[in-house]
Amino acid sequence: MLHTNTPDSDAGLNRRRFLKQAALATSALALPAFVPAAALGRDGKIAPSNRIVMGGVGFGGRGSYVIGQWFLRQPEVQFVAACDVRRDRRNALKKRIDQHNKNADCKAYVDMDEVFARPDIDAVVVVTGDRLHATAAIRAMRAGKDIYSEKPATMTIAEGQELVRTAKTYARVYQAGMQRLTERNFVFCEELVRSGRLGEVKTVHAHHWLPGFGVNIRNPWKPEEKYDPAEIDWDRWLGPCPWRPYNKHYVRGGWYGEHDFSTGVIGGWGSHTFASCQAAVDLGDTSPVHYPYVKSTTADGLTMTFANGTKMRSLGQDTWKDAAGKTHKWRGSCAVRYIGTEGWCATGDGYSAPDLSNPALLNDLNKVVQNYLLRTGRELDHVRNFLSCVKSRRETAANPTLTHRTMSTVHCANLAQWLKRDLTWDPIKEEFVNDPEANRCRSRAVREGWQIV
C-alpha cells in the first residue's frame, strides 16, 4: 500500500527524528572529548585560568634582567605589553617577549597609562628610573593592577604614605624589589635574631658601597641637545620631575646621583640594607627617631636610633672588628651585621654562608630556614613570593608598609645630610619635630599632570 503523508504521519516522523537525534547526541556526550593538555594545565602547561597576565614598564639594564631573567622564566606568567619612552628599548622588550611567547602578540606602548587601562592585565612590573617607581606603581594600583616595583620604591616620604594608602584602598598586592628579604643567608640571620639565639640585639649594621660623590648628590643642568621625538618621549621620561632640557647624559644612566632623579647612595643601597635590618629586629612598621648629621661626604658611620633604643649604623668601610678585636672583611654589597648580647651574625651578597661568632650555629641553617618557610608560607625567591601572593592575596615580604617605613629611614637620613643638622622624627605623626624646613622636604614639587598625592 502506498504510504501517503498526513498531518498525523508527519507528527510521527518528526517525533522519530527527534528521538534519533537525541540518542545520537547522548552517545556523543558519552564519548571522551578531546581537550588540549594546555587548557587543562597538564604536561607542564599552565591552564589559562591560572595564568598571570602582565605588562612591563621600563627596559633598561635592570629591566632587562628583572623582566627577562626573572619574570619570563615563570611558567604562569604571560607578558602582553611592553612599555618604555625610548623606542629602542620598548622594541627590544617586545622582541624579547615575542620570542619567549613564540608569537607577535605583545603590544608596545609609550604611555604607561595605556598599559594600566588594559582590563586583561593582572599585574605590572615597574623597572623605570627611580623618579617614576612610586608614580607608576600608584597609578597602576588605582587601575586595579598588582605591582612588582624596583627599588628605591619612593622619592619622598609623601609618596610612601600614598603608596600604603593606595595599596590598602584598592586591595592590591605590592612587592618592592628588595630581594634580600627572601634570600637564604639573609633569612637565616634574621631568624637568629627573631629567635633570640644571638641574645638581645640592640645594634644592627647596614653596609653600603659609597661612591665618590657620596651622599651630597648634585643637581646641575646639562647643555640642551637636539633629539628625535620619535626615538624618545622626553616629557614622559622626565615624568613628575621638574622640567629641564634634553641631554643624552641623562638617558644613558647619568641621572643617578642627580637630586631631581634619584635618592642617592643611601637610597640605592639603604633600600636593601635598611629593610633587612629593620625586618630582622621587627621594626619594619616604624623608622628611627634620631638622625645625626655626619660631617663627611659619605656619612660613613651614620648611627640612627629607634624609639626603643635599637641603633642602626650605616657603614661604608671594607672591614670591621668584632668585640675580640679580630678584623673581618665585608665580602659583598648590601651586607648586614646583627650584634646581640650572645653573639653576632653577618652576611652579604658575596657570602656562601653567613659569618657567625659561633660557627656551630650553621649546623642548623637548613632547619632554621625550613621553619621560616613553614611559618610564613613564603619562598626563597622574591618573584615567586610576589606571584604566590597575587594568587593568594597574602602580604608579600617587601609589602607596602615595610617599604614605606624603610624608605622613610632613607629619606630622613638623606635630609639630615642635605640640611646639615641633626633631625628628630616622630614615626607616629610622620613628621619632624620642631623643624618646619625639614617637614617641607617630606614631598617634592611635581609637574602638572603627574600629581599622585
3-state secondary structure 355-414: EECCHHHHHHHHHHHHHHHHHHCCCCCHHHHHHHHHHHCCCCCCCHHHHHHHHHHHHHHH
301 and 327 in a single domain? The answer is: yes
**Are residue 317 and residue 187 in the same domain, yes or no?**
yes
What is the rounded distance in angstroms from the CA atom of residue 263 to the CA atom of residue 208? 14
In one-letter notation, the amino acid at residue 432 is: F
Q: What is the pLDDT of residue 1?
A: 37
Query: What local confidence, expressed as pLDDT, does residue 211 receive?
Result: 55
For residue range 359-378, what is the model confidence (pLDDT) as tens digits? 999 999 999 999 999 999 99
Inter-residue contact 51 to 120 (CB < 8 Å): no
Q: For residue range 238-249, what is the model confidence (pLDDT) as tens digits? A: 999 999 999 999
Residue 209 forms part of a structural domain = yes
Q: Does 315 lie in the same domain as 198?
A: yes
Number of domains the chain contains: 2
Given a cut of 60, whether residue 439 has pLDDT beyond it is yes
Q: Do 190 and 331 belong together in one domain?
A: yes
In a domain, 65, yes or no: yes
Antiparallel, parallel or unpaired: β 290-291 and 201-207: unpaired
- Tell me, what CATH number does 141's domain have? 3.40.50.720
Domain membership flag for residue 21:
no
Q: What is the mean pLDDT of residues 244-255?
A: 95
Q: 45 with 37: CB under 8 angstroms? A: yes
What is the pLDDT at residue 8? Answer: 43
Q: What is the pLDDT of residue 217?
A: 78
- Output the domain CATH number for residue 344: 3.30.360.10
Confidence at residue 317, expressed as pLDDT on a 0 to 100 scale: 85
In a domain, 248, yes or no: no
The pTM is what?
Answer: 0.89
In a domain, 238, yes or no: no
Same domain, 205 and 346: yes
The mean pLDDT value for 179-196 works out to 98
Confidence at 210, pLDDT banded by 50, 70, 90: low
Distance CA 30, CA 44 (A): 28
Instruction: Note whether residue 69 is domain-resident.
Output: yes
Q: Are residues 175 and 95 in the same domain?
A: yes
- Would residue 230 count as lying in a domain? no
Residue ranges making up the domain that contains 120: 43-179
Helices (H), 256-324: 264-280
Closest to 92 in 3D by CA, of 82, 102, 80: 82
pLDDT at 179: 97
> How much of the chain exceeds pLDDT 70, in percent?
89
User: Looking at the structure, do residues 184 and 57 belong to the same domain, yes or no?
Assistant: no
How do residues 45-102 score in pLDDT, each as one tens digit? Answer: 677 778 999 999 999 989 999 999 999 999 999 999 999 999 999 999 999 999 999 9
Residue 314: is its pLDDT beyond 90? yes
pLDDT value at 3 more than 70: no
How big is the CA angle at 257 (ends 251 and 258), to the nearest 5 degrees?
70
Nearest Cα neighbor of 265 from 140, 413, 94 is 413
Could you give the 3-state DSSP secondary structure of residue 56?
strand
Mean pLDDT in the chain? 90
How does strand 77-83 pair with strand 423-426?
unpaired
Contact 180, 186 (CB under 8 A): yes
The answer on 192 and 306 residing in a single domain is: yes
Residues 194 and 123 in one domain: no
* Mean pLDDT for the stretch of residues 273-299: 96
Q: How many helices (H) does the chain have, and how many strands (E)?
A: 15, 17
Residue, of 401 and 21, whose pLDDT is higher: 401
How large a percentage of the chain has pLDDT more than 90? 80
293 assigned to some structural domain = yes
Residues 81 and 139 in one domain: yes
pLDDT, tens digit, 9 for 90 and up, residues 35-49: 454 444 555 567 777
Do 131 and 202 fall within a single domain?
no
278 and 307, same structural domain? yes
Does residue 307 surpass a pLDDT of 60?
yes
Convert 411-431 to b/e letters by CB count within 10 Å (16 or more is b). Answer: bbbbbbbbeeeebbbebeebe
For the ranges 296-300, 372-376, 383-387, 411-415, which has the lowest average pLDDT? 296-300
